[in-house]
Amino acid sequence: MPNNAFGDFQTPPELVKLVLDRLNAIHSLGWARILEPTCGVGNFIRGLTQSPIIIDGCEIQGIELQPEHLALATEGMNAIPLTTVKLRLANLFDINLHTDLTWESTGRLLVIGNPPWVTSSGLGILDSDNHPKRWNIKGFSGMDALTGASNFDLAEFIWIKLLYELKDQQPTIALLCKTTVAYNVLKFAAKKNLPLKTAGVWKIDSKKWFDAAVDACLLVIEVGTRWDISQIPIYNDLTSDSPVSMMGFEDGNFVVDVEGYRTVVEFEGVFPYEWRQGVKHDAASVVELTHDTQGNLLNKNGEIVRVEADYVYPLLKGSDLHKYPVKAFSKAVIVTNKYIGDDTRHIEQLAPHLWRYLCQHSDAFDRRKSSIYVGKSPFSMFGIGHYSFAPYKVAISGLHKSPRFIALGLQAGRPVMFDDTCYFTPLQSAYEAALMAALLNTPNAKKFLEMISFAGAKRPFSKKVLQRLNFQALFIACDKNQLLVDAKMHYRQISNESTDIIGNWHDEIDKLFVSALEQKRLFD
Ligand SMILES: C[S@@+](CC[C@H](N)C(=O)[O-])C[C@H]1O[C@@H](n2cnc3c(N)ncnc32)[C@H](O)[C@@H]1O
């Protein structure tokens, strides 16, 4: 039975064979020592014993946390001629791989396997103990050092542990992992100047092999004596010898496709407006509402919610933005504060119905796990500021694979809110919003964003990515006539005024340009 807390996807023997054949193609001289750090039921170890990549006298060691798995892995293992196989029941994070593993020889070392596919938030939900609590590496300050992200993959930790603890033995490390894990590891290794000699990424069909809807690959790293990588080939599958693209580092930025990036590098810059994230409340069951056909607002439990309208705003979530205008504005959200840190207790006097409703559902707020809510006013929210109440906005879903910007105006006189999977830039006029959306949807902007983001990431279009758009360069390069056609289309969606009586659109373009430059000065 797969066990989620252990990220348990045993690798099918056919896939093991493809991985081993690939390694044989990379290094036909084979390896004298092989480590499988999370060996599971032993599919890699069994595959290894039939593969030409092991040389006579090869020592194989495997580590596994779950006794039932190890029992299956151990079956029949002693009968392999000219090979020593040592399997141990242990938590990888309790072992120092440099000092605690004993080997008979000092021959070439290969680390191979498929570490757990589980994220820290997944572990949190499962309340698992399976994380590196006792593991500490000098100069490595926990998860922030990895990606800067609060949600990290256990496999990233395993990669970094292997690189740090085994680097003096200059191993080849070949692990199946999510492609985001592979990229994060490579970024981290480059940032920390770890001694990587070569690296290559072979994509795998994770739907076919693991029934998992996530991009995955075999990442193979050869450790040497210093960082020696300028480009990293990406291959379409394990049998392929010709890369489809080359990853690399351009001006300090990690780029998934160096050639492609160079065609759009002129659009690299600093976006003049600040991208804002939508409202964060972690209480969707209470504050996110839908309209029924009778004009009532319902919460997720189907209860009719009658609260003061002043605190209720139209809501678009990431999927609403992506398929806009289909089913747009069928949702609403209660917003309890006007800025972060605002004292929400005034609601009791000003909006007694809302206060009663919130108090009746306070358990949903009490269950919020994030530390950001600790010590804050009751029912308080984040991702809220003056910008949330701007009349016009251009917004994008951060989660979808291709970028799509939508211009939005007031909806029934109310500013539109977004959930925290969306990003938006607040604007003051319908012209600005229409032109901005048209500009950000130009082919150049789209291509640039696709080049600097990673479609397999959970959130390809983050604030960091969006902030790199060069407004000025996009503007100069775009087809102005097409820009006007597109801007008018956006304008018609957010304003009742005819596009023909708006005056001179060319003046509006100039104004937007000047305003963007002013914004840039403010923002800088
Ligand atoms: C994705 S499965 C892969 C198993 C095997 N490597 C394979 O490819 O068939 C991950 C394995 O890691 C094991 N595991 C998870 N956390 C571990 C830990 N902290 N120490 C050792 N093994 C662990 C799980 O029990 C599971 O068998």
Atom of ligand 1 nearest to the CA of 11: 9
422-473 confidence digits (pLDDT tens): 999 999 888 889 999 999 999 999 999 999 987 767 788 999 999 999 998 9
**CA of 354 relative to ligand 1 center, distance in Å:** 49
426 three-state secondary structure: strand
Does the beta carbon of 8 sit less than 6 angstroms from any atom of ligand 1? yes
Extract the tokens encoding 478: 């775009």
Query: How far is residue 155's CA from residue 132's CA, in Å, rounded to a whole number?
Result: 11
**CA of 116 relative to ligand 1 center, distance in Å:** 5
Closest residue to atom 24 of ligand 1, CA basis: 6
**CA of 7 relative to ligand 1 center, distance in Å:** 7
Does the beta carbon of 69 sit less than 6 angstroms from any atom of ligand 1? yes
Chain centre distance of CA 35: 29
β-pairing, 253-255 vs 231-235, is unpaired
Does the beta carbon of 73 sit less than 6 angstroms from any atom of ligand 1? no
Nearest Cα residue to 398 out of 328, 319, 475, 294:
319
Q: For residue 70, how many other CB atoms are within 10 A of its CB? A: 20
Which residue type does 306 have?
R
Closest residue to atom 16 of ligand 1, CA basis: 6
- Of the two residues 408 and 80, the one the predictor is more confident about is 408
Does the beta carbon of 66 sit less than 6 angstroms from any atom of ligand 1? yes
- What does the pLDDT read at residue 122? 54
Handedness of CA 110, 163, 196, 203 (dihedral sign): positive
Does the beta carbon of 93 sit less than 6 angstroms from any atom of ligand 1? yes
311-358 confidence digits (pLDDT tens): 999 999 999 999 998 777 899 999 999 888 888 899 999 999 999 999
pTM (2 decimals)?
A: 0.78
93-149 confidence digits (pLDDT tens): 899 999 999 999 999 999 999 999 876 555 544 445 655 553 443 344 443 444 334
How much is the average pLDDT of 501-522? 66
Q: For residue 96, how many other CB atoms are within 10 A of its CB? A: 11
Atom of ligand 1 nearest to the CA of 92: 20
Does the beta carbon of 206 sit less than 6 angstroms from any atom of ligand 1? no
How much is the average pLDDT of 480-494? 90
Atom of ligand 1 nearest to the CA of 130: 19
Interacting residues of 347 by C-beta distance below 8 A, sequence separation 6+: 311, 336, 354, 355, 358, 379
Does the beta carbon of 128 sit less than 6 angstroms from any atom of ligand 1? no
- What does the pLDDT read at residue 65? 92
Does the beta carbon of 47 sit less than 6 angstroms from any atom of ligand 1? no
Rg of the chain on CA atoms, in Å:
27
**CA of 174 relative to ligand 1 center, distance in Å:** 15
Q: Measured between alpha carbons, how far is residue 322 from residues 107, 244, 409, 453, 491 in Å?
A: 54, 29, 17, 17, 18
How much is the average pLDDT of 283-304? 95
Greatest pairwise CA separation for the chain in angstroms:
87
Among 1, 6, 95, residue to substitute to test ligand 1 (most atoms within 8 Å of Cβ):
6
Helix (H) / strand (E) element for 233: namely strand 231-235
- What does the pLDDT read at residue 201? 97
Mean pLDDT for the chain overall: 87
Does the beta carbon of 409 sit less than 6 angstroms from any atom of ligand 1? no
